[in-house]
Amino acid sequence: MVDVGPFIKLQRTKRQMTQEELSEGIVSLSYLSKIENKKTKASPEIIQLLCNRLGIEFAEETNSHIEEKCQQWYEMLFDHCDKQEMTDRYEELQVIMNQSINESFIMFEIHQIRYYSVLRDFNKALAKINELHELVDSFNHKHEYYWYKFKGGYYSLQDKHAKAMKLFKQAQEKIPLANLNEVEIADLKYGLAVTHSQLWQQLECLDYTQEAMEVFQREYNFDRCGQCHILFGISYQRFKKYEKAIKNFQLAKHLGELCDNKDVISLAHQNLGYLYSTTGNSEEAIKNYLLAIEDKDVDTDNLLSTYTCLIEEYYHVKQYEKVEQNLREAKELLSKVTYSDLWNLYDYIIKVYTHLINEEFDKFKVVLTDHFIPYLKQAGEHSYLVFYSKLLANLLEEWGKYKESVQYYKLASLSYEEFVNM
């Protein structure tokens, strides 16, 4: 059993109880502070009195039943798993954990970071990170591993990929001491692969994806194999090895269908659409984008991303009625989003094309120059900066505003240099 002091502290803060309220009539305030900060070991009698006041039990021995139920819940914390069942199991465990201090307590608390991240409840995920921060000194090696890993996952979903990479690497350093199975290590390697992909570090992405894939294949985990094929496809596309990219996206789609993973199927079509768009095949691009949004139950961010790609493609081929139709659908979907950190990005894209379609060119220019382009610069979204700076420059040139157009052509060129050197 780890030192009980941090457990006492966490249970006290969860109940919004002050040290004065907990210690009164049991120990001095300074002595409770020493207990909570592991500067002294309290007698069993004092621990029992503190637990009584908190309304919890203190279990010195590991409860195998609780540990087993926790492990079952941990194995559900993935995007493709049933969210309602995940929540039901969490609420059941939360009742148990709120009634006692046991060996599984800290691990359960750390896993809540992943739980809230999977549910895309980022406010609660961050609150849990802040709540646990003061207990880090009491973590063992396995606790530290999951602490770094789940924080890395949280920041990855926030598009803070450099920060996520640092945390994933810290988790990786803990592997030799944390007594982990190969599936868990493969999951971390997949997280590292995704983050390298987001940072356009393709060779590293391929290496980590291959290492993760070998384990997932041995386990016949088709969901995770499908996700790995998506990463392979993205990497090969960026290397302009289009046949290999298409093959991997199609394999991902097949595996998604095999295990009824709608998110993998949608992502495969979305990436195929983007590949065909970049190679000038608008017909195949549109076909795949439409297949990607066919099922509205997939991840909302992926849906919105596909809608914006579809709007751009329809505008490129001058199918303006289709642009208007998809703008309406994208607006409706965006109005239901409460958690997306990319909300501003999608909102700006929708506004840009709404003004273009309505021939509101002054509003179009103001949105880009005063709002969208500054937002993209601050966010470091170089690929979008290239596209939208060039779009603005082309239209300014058409309108005879050559001096202004040159300014945005230069911005597109500089952004492209930043993009390829990432």
pLDDT in tens, the chain (422 residues): 456 787 788 788 878 899 999 999 999 989 998 888 878 888 888 988 998 898 887 765 556 788 899 999 999 999 888 899 999 999 999 888 877 676 688 899 999 999 999 998 999 999 999 988 878 877 889 999 999 999 999 999 888 899 999 999 999 999 999 999 999 999 999 999 999 999 989 999 999 999 999 999 999 999 999 999 999 999 999 999 999 999 999 999 999 999 999 999 999 999 999 999 999 999 999 999 999 999 888 888 889 999 999 999 999 999 999 999 999 999 999 998 876 667 889 999 999 999 999 999 999 999 999 999 999 988 888 888 999 999 999 999 998 998 999 999 998 888 877 766 65
Distance of alpha carbon 81 from alpha carbon 75, whole angstroms:
9
Strand spans (E) along 340-418? none
pLDDT tens readout for residues 375-415 = 998 888 888 899 999 999 999 999 899 899 999 999 888 88
Distance of alpha carbon 136 from alpha carbon 271, whole angstroms:
40
Distance of alpha carbon 239 from alpha carbon 383, whole angstroms:
16
Q: Are 116 and 122 in contact (CB under 8 A)?
A: yes
pLDDT at residue 14, rounded to an integer: 79
Residue type, 222: F
Residue type, 359: E
| Dihedral sign (CA 37, 38, 42, 47) | positive
* pTM for this model (two decimals): 0.85
Q: Are 172 and 212 in contact (CB under 8 A)?
A: no
pLDDT at residue 298, rounded to an integer: 84
Whose CA is closest to 296, among 330, 273, 325, 324?
330
Distance of alpha carbon 175 from alpha carbon 44, whole angstroms:
34
What 3 state SS string does 252-279 have? Answer: HHHHHHHCCCHHHHHHHHHHHHHHHHHC
Q: Are 231 and 205 in contact (CB under 8 A)?
A: yes
